[in-house]
Amino acid sequence: MELTTAEENYLKAIYHLSEEGKKSVSTNDIAAAIQTKPASVSDMLRKLGEKEVIQYRKYYGLQITELGKRLALQTIRKHRLWEVFLVDKLHFAWDEVHEVAEQLEHIQSPLLIERLDAYLNYPKFDPHGDPIPDEYGDVRSRPRIALNEMNIDQGGQIVAVKDSSAAFLRYLDKVGAYIGARIKVLDKVEFDGSVEILVDQKKTLFMSKDVASNILVLQS
Amino acid sequence: MELTTAEENYLKAIYHLSEEGKKSVSTNDIAAAIQTKPASVSDMLRKLGEKEVIQYRKYYGLQITELGKRLALQTIRKHRLWEVFLVDKLHFAWDEVHEVAEQLEHIQSPLLIERLDAYLNYPKFDPHGDPIPDEYGDVRSRPRIALNEMNIDQGGQIVAVKDSSAAFLRYLDKVGAYIGARIKVLDKVEFDGSVEILVDQKKTLFMSKDVASNILVLQS
DNA sequence: ATTAAAAACTAGGCTAAACTAAATAATGGT
DNA sequence: ACCATTATTTAGTTTAGCCTAGTTTTTAAT
Ligand SMILES: [Mn+2]
Ligand SMILES: [Mn+2]
Ligand SMILES: [Mn+2]
Ligand SMILES: [Mn+2]
pLDDT number for residue B36: 97
The residue out of B16, B44, B64 marking a domain boundary is B64
Q: Read off the amino acid at residue B166.
A: A
Please indicate, yes or no, if residue A81 is contained in any of the structural domains: no
pLDDT number for residue B209: 93
The residue out of B22, B47, B64 marking a domain boundary is B64
Number of domains in chain A: 2
CA distance A5 to chain B (A): 12
Average pLDDT over residues A175-194: 93
Q: Is residue A4 within 8 Å of A44, Cβ to Cβ?
A: no
Q: Does B95 touch chain A (CB under 8 A)?
A: no
**Is residue A15 over pLDDT 80?**
yes
pLDDT digit string (tens) for B32-87? 999 999 999 999 999 999 999 999 999 998 999 999 999 999 999 999 999 999 99
What proportion of chain A, given as a percentage, has pLDDT over 70? 100
The residue out of A47, A64, A81 marking a domain boundary is A64
Q: Is residue A33 within 8 Å of A13, Cβ to Cβ?
A: yes
> Domain residues for B150?
145-219
Low-confidence ranges of chain B (pLDDT < 70): 22
What dihedral angle (degrees, nearest 10) is formed by the CA atoms of A84, A86, A88, A94?
-80
pLDDT number for residue B91: 98
Nearest Cα neighbor of A57 from A38, A42, A35 is: A42
Please indicate, yes or no, if residue A83 is contained in any of the structural domains: no
pLDDT number for residue A205: 93
d(CA B67, CA B78): 17
Q: Which nucleotides of C are covered by protein (CB under 7 A)?
A: 7-12, 16-22, 25-26
pLDDT number for residue B141: 83
Q: Does B86 touch chain A (CB under 8 A)?
A: yes
CA distance A17 to chain B (A): 27
Q: A34 CA to C1 C1', in Å?
A: 39
**Is residue A113 over pLDDT 90?**
yes
Comparing CB atoms, the residue among B100, B115, B119 nearest residue A112 is B100
User: Cβ contact (<8 Å) for B104 and A99?
Assistant: no
pLDDT number for residue A141: 83
Please indicate, yes or no, if residue A87 is contained in any of the structural domains: no
| Residues of chain B neighbouring A115 (CB-CB closer than 8 A) | 90-92
pLDDT number for residue A20: 84
| pTM of the full structure | 0.94
Please indicate, yes or no, if residue A71 is contained in any of the structural domains: no
pLDDT number for residue A107: 98
Q: What is the residue-wise DSSP string for A47-98?
A: HHHHTTSEEE-TTS-EEE-HHHHHHHHHHHHHHHHHHHIIIIIT---TTSSH
Question: Tell me, what CATH number does B20's domain have?
Answer: 1.10.10.10
> pLDDT-derived band of residue A1, with 50, 70 and 90 as boundaries?
confident
Please indicate, yes or no, if residue B193 is contained in any of the structural domains: yes
pLDDT number for residue B184: 95
Average pLDDT over residues A127-147: 93
pLDDT number for residue B146: 94
Q: Does B101 touch chain A (CB under 8 A)?
A: no
pLDDT digit string (tens) for A28-79? 999 999 999 999 999 999 999 999 999 999 999 899 999 999 999 999 999 9
CA distance B84 to chain A (A): 13
CA of B110: which chain A residue's CA is closest?
A100
Please indicate, yes or no, if residue B96 is contained in any of the structural domains: no
Q: Does B103 touch chain A (CB under 8 A)?
A: yes
Question: Tell me, what CATH number does A183's domain have?
Answer: 2.30.30.90
pLDDT number for residue A116: 98
A209: which residues sit within 8 A by CB, 6+ positions away?
A148, A192, A193, A194, A195
Q: Is the Cβ atom of A59 within 7 Å of strand C at any atom?
A: yes
Please indicate, yes or no, if residue B106 is contained in any of the structural domains: no
Please indicate, yes or no, if residue A75 is contained in any of the structural domains: no
d(CA A187, CA A179): 21
